[in-house]
Structure 1
Amino acid sequence: MAAPSQGVKIDWSKSIPLNVRCFVWRALSRRIPVSSNLAIRGITVETNLCTLCNAEIETEDHLLVKCKIAEEVHEWILGWCGSDGKKFQHIEEFLDYIASWGNCPMKKEIVSLILYCTLWNIWKARNNKIFMKVDTSPAKIANEIISQSYEWYKYRSSKSCNRWID
């Protein structure tokens, strides 16, 4: 398994929950339990195809950035953040995109939080489909990201924020 690229930085901001920061680090390290990794460990799964789209083998890159569901979620969220839709091929590209976002430290922190929340909620949607047999849509995932990222920022950030518009 490949180690994370030396050029990619993980945002260890306290406004992002520790379990999410660790999840992103593990995804970058190719150590989350997607079907391709489970197969390498000798664990048999029902199918090696992506749980969300059933189109390709489920890898970290596919599930979190290349899957058609993930792409739609990214499009919704990036549009909401005021960015043009961008397609990513690898998690490293996604994290580099976050790291290169603008010059304002506060906006950068907020966008980083939102995009980490995006990866986390795609993962949660995948797990809900596997373990609870709950299907979801990109719009529902995007709504959850918007709501959850506001909660994270409001209660975890050192800056006060009573309204999301602020």
Structure 2
Amino acid sequence: MYALETQKNISVALKLSHDDLLCSFHRAPRAGAEELQYIQLVKIMEGITLFDSNDRWRWSLEGCGEFTVASVRNLLDANSLPVVSSKTRWIKAVPIKVNIHAWKVKLDILPTRLNISKRGMDIESILCPLCEKNVESSSHIFFTCPISREIFRKVLLWWEIDVVMVSSYDEWLEWLLSIRLHSKHKELFEGVCYVLWWYIWNFRNKSIFGSACPSKALIFEEVVTRSFIWCNHRCKKSFSWVDWLKTQHIGTL
């Protein structure tokens, strides 16, 4: 349309003041792309009202017209983040890094050997580096690997919860929501599970990249000790090490 305009420097206000948009064109638009663009231009101009004021910038992502960082953040999130069926779970009793790690377990976006091979990288083996029996997926490394299951069993015995075996994050979450615990107690237990996943992944990385082979026997002790330190410093009411070992005493925190 600009190519057909004879007055290249005409203002928008003057153009709208004409009875017909075609009056300053050197010829009428022809069929095809020109006609289609002209129809689109007419639709865009319908209902346009100009006010007697200076031009100004207006931010279209906010109704008030003012720029906000939140509006850009929401736009980027809507177009780049994956769609999930449930809200992100966040446990305040454990650090941010542990929560983010649990979020990655849920979405299966950790660089397990299976995920790395799916991305086209050539690796020597996709077997679990801990048991070397099954493919290392997120479900395996955190839920079905014999080492993970044994430590999870110890955690359940420590918390005096009936031993159950789960095979994936979804199964774990469904089971977690079904167990009967005080709400505060359950939140702390979920945080302990997050810490468990954190140390399993840490043990896995040390087994692959470390100079010395880490001890499997220390994983459970690290989970108990570190979860106590983190939870005790983040809960509104502090509790003793003895109470932490006897979890039925911390249900009213």
The answer for unaligned runs of 5 or more in structure 2 is 1-81, 244-248
**Counterparts of 2:207 and 2:185, CA distance in 1:** 33
Task: Report the AA paired with residue 75 of structure 1.
Answer: R
Give the 3 Å change call, closer, same or farther, for CA 85–48 of structure 1 in structure 2: same
User: Hey, what does 1:136 align to over in structure 2?
Assistant: 215
User: Hey, what does 2:172 align to over in structure 1?
Assistant: 94
Greater RCO (CA < 8 Å, at least 6 residues apart): 1
Q: Any conservation in 1 of the 2:89–2:103 contact (CA below 8 Å)? A: no
* Equivalent residue runs for 1:12-161 within 5 Å: 12-132=90-210, 133-137=212-216, 139-161=217-239
Secondary structure of 1:23's aligned partner: helix
Extract structure 1 runs of 4+ deviating beyond 3 A.
Answer: none
Q: Any conservation in 1 of the 2:91–2:190 contact (CA below 8 Å)? A: no
Q: Give the structure-2-normalised TM-score.
A: 0.59
Q: Any conservation in 2 of the 1:98–1:111 contact (CA below 8 Å)? A: no
**Counterparts of 1:44 and 1:107, CA distance in 2:** 44
Q: Any conservation in 2 of the 1:118–1:145 contact (CA below 8 Å)? A: yes
**Counterparts of 2:88 and 2:120, CA distance in 1:** 30
**Counterparts of 1:131 and 1:156, CA distance in 2:** 32
Secondary structure of 1:130's aligned partner: helix
**Counterparts of 1:156 and 1:30, CA distance in 2:** 27
Taking only aligned residues, the RMSD between alpha carbons, in angstroms, comes to 1.9
Give 1:4 shift.
8.0
Secondary structure of 1:118's aligned partner: helix
Q: Give the structure-1-normalised TM-score.
A: 0.88
- The count of aligned residue pairs is 162
Task: Please give the per-residue CA displacement for 1:77-126, whole angstroms capped at 9, x wherever unaligned.
Answer: 11111012211111111133233332412211221111111111111110
**Counterparts of 1:51 and 1:164, CA distance in 2:** 35
**Counterparts of 1:88 and 1:151, CA distance in 2:** 27
The answer for unaligned runs of 5 or more in structure 1 is none
